[in-house]
């Protein structure tokens, strides 16, 4: 019985080279389409957001995880469950702000940037910016407004890749007028 | 190891992005659609090239064209679309038809004829992947896809004789 369920879980696993290369093709295309890196970053974030708002459903359905009690728990689940499930890596969670509303995800190796080298004329491009959109979109669907940005990137010569996440506010559930 | 749903979502976003960019310029005619399809195809081409390069790094060389096609139907398809091609047919003159009865990128779309008119844009990328793979194996080709009922799909590969 357990073996059976293992097999179905494995079926969901795929060749990550396909994903990495496809993502690379997308970034290349965007760099052709837009003149400056800022605009490419913005597009990647937007597309990531669109993925995030859908991905969260897939995630909640498959992980059977309920509502998070606090931001620390959210951080843990993102790093240990979500990143593991979708990218096969477990980033470490560090640099908590004293108030507990800000933390960093440190990625040892970034699967999105596996075969990538940035040319010199793209030094403001945030290659993996799709990820910040995904995180923002997914968390927004569970009533959390979060600010996500890359503060370090190995592609730009830093030692690690660091994503900074800042909790902004809890989104109130607004029912449309006249509905209970 | 990445997860397949991540790739599926990314693919959906890429398709809708490329198409919205063209349609943003006004009414979309057949020519615009052809442009979008060829952009997606070109992206797939590059991906196919990269994939086959890494896959065949340690494999012995192929003895003929049919051998290459068999490799594409079995190993390559399994690695990329997670199943083998169900049926491979050829006229022995450079035309091959690869039939996949449950094509990975169509299974979430529909089971039957609904949304059939939308199907081509979700296949352009995959056609490019196949063409790119063949190209790096030394075969210049034209790859087209044909769907009569989702999620089944037929890829036609016509090898260009030089």
Segment B123-138, tens digit of pLDDT: 999 999 999 999 999 9
First to last CA, chain B: 39
Looking at residue B28, its pLDDT comes to 74
Q: From the list A19, A33, A115, which residue is nearest B2 (CB)? A: A19
Q: From the list A18, A43, A87, which residue is nearest B80 (CB)? A: A18
Residues whose CB is less than 8 angstroms from the CB of residue A69 and which lie 6 or more positions away in sequence, other chains included: none
Q: From the list B3, B11, B51, which residue is nearest A85 (CB)? A: B3
- Mutation target to probe the B interface, by most B beta carbons within 10 A, among A10, A26, A87 is A26
Q: Which residues of A touch B80 (CB under 8 A)?
A: 15, 18
Q: Which residues of A touch B78 (CB under 8 A)?
A: none
- Please say whether the beta carbons of A150 and A163 come within 8 A: yes
CB contact under 8 A, B2 and A33: no
Segment A103-138, tens digit of pLDDT: 999 998 888 998 888 888 888 999 999 999 999 999
Task: Give me A130's structure tokens.
Answer: 């799709």
- Please say whether the beta carbons of B156 and B126 come within 8 A: no
Confidence of residue B100 (pLDDT cuts 50, 70, 90): very high
Please list the residues that pair with A105 across neighbouring strands.
Answer: A93, A163
CB contact under 8 A, A55 and B6: yes
Instruction: Pick from A39-43, A62-66, A168-172, B80-84 the range whose average pLDDT is largest.
Output: A39-43
Tell me which residue has tokens 């290349």: A28
Confidence of residue A1 (pLDDT cuts 50, 70, 90): very low
The whole-number average pLDDT for the span A160-168 is: 96
Looking at residue A68, its pLDDT comes to 87
Supply the range of the domain harboring residue B42: 4-159
Domains identified in chain B, total number: 1
CB contact under 8 A, A21 and B51: yes
Q: Which domains does chain A have, with CATH numbers?
A: 16-170 (3.30.1380.20)
Give the residue, A108 or B142, on which the prediction is more confident.
B142
Looking at residue B1, its pLDDT comes to 64
Looking at residue A174, its pLDDT comes to 74
Confidence of residue B57 (pLDDT cuts 50, 70, 90): confident
Segment B112-121, tens digit of pLDDT: 999 999 999 9
Min Cα–Cα distance to chain A from B9, Å: 6
For chain B, the average pLDDT equals 91
Q: Which residues of B touch A13 (CB under 8 A)?
A: 1-4
C-beta atoms surrounding B76 within 10 Å: 25
Q: Which residues of B touch A86 (CB under 8 A)?
A: 2-3, 5-6
What is the ipTM score, two decimals?
0.92
Report the CATH number at residue B147.
Answer: 3.30.1380.20
Segment B7-39, tens digit of pLDDT: 999 999 999 999 988 776 667 788 888 999 999
Please list the residues that pair with A129 across neighbouring strands.
Answer: none
A99-102 long-range contacts (CB < 8 A, ≥24 apart) are A100/A70, A100/A71, A100/A72, A101/A71, A101/A166, A101/A167, A102/A164, A102/A165, A102/A166, A102/A167
CB contact under 8 A, B10 and A26: yes
């Amino acid at each position: 019985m357990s073996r059976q369920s293992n097999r179905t879980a494995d079926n969901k696993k795929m060749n990550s080279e396909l994903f990495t290369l496809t993502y690379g093709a997308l970034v290349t295309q965007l760099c052709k389409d837009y003149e400056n890196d800022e605009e490419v970053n913005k597009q990647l974030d937007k597309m990531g957001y669109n993925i995030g708002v859908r991905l969260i459903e897939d995630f909640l359905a498959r992980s059977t995880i309920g509502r998070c009690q606090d931001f620390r728990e959210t951080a843990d689940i993102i790093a240990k469950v979500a990143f593991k499930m979708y990218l096969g890596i477990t980033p470490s969670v560090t640099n908590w702000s004293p108030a507990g509303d800000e933390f960093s995800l440190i990625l040892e190796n970034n699967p999105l940037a596996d075969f990538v080298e940035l040319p010199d004329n793209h030094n403001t491009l945030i290659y993996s910016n799709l990820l910040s959109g995904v995180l923002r979109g997914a968390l927004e669907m569970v009533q959390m407004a979060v600010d996500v940005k890359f503060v370090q990137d190995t592609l730009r010569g830093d030692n690690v890749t660091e994503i900074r996440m800042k909790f902004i506010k809890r989104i109130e559930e607004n029912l449309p007028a006249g509905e209970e | 190891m990445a997860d397949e749903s991540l790739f599926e979502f990314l693919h959906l976003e890429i398709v809708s992005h490329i198409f919205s960019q063209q349609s943003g310029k006004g009414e979309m005619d057949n020519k615009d659609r052809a442009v979008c399809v060829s952009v997606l195809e070109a992206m797939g081409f590059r991906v196919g090239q990269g994939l086959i390069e890494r896959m065949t790094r340690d494999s012995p060389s192929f003895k003929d064209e049919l051998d290459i096609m068999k490799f594409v139907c079995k190993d390559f398809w399994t690695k990329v679309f997670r199943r083998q091609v169900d049926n491979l047919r050829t006229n022995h003159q450079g035309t091959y038809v690869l039939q996949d009865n449950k094509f990975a990128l169509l299974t979430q779309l529909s089971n039957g004829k609904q949304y059939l008119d939308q199907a081509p844009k979700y296949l352009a990328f995959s056609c490019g992947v196949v063409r790119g793979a063949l190209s790096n194996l030394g075969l210049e080709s034209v790859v087209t896809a044909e769907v009569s009922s989702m999620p089944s799909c037929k890829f036609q590969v016509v090898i260009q004789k030089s």
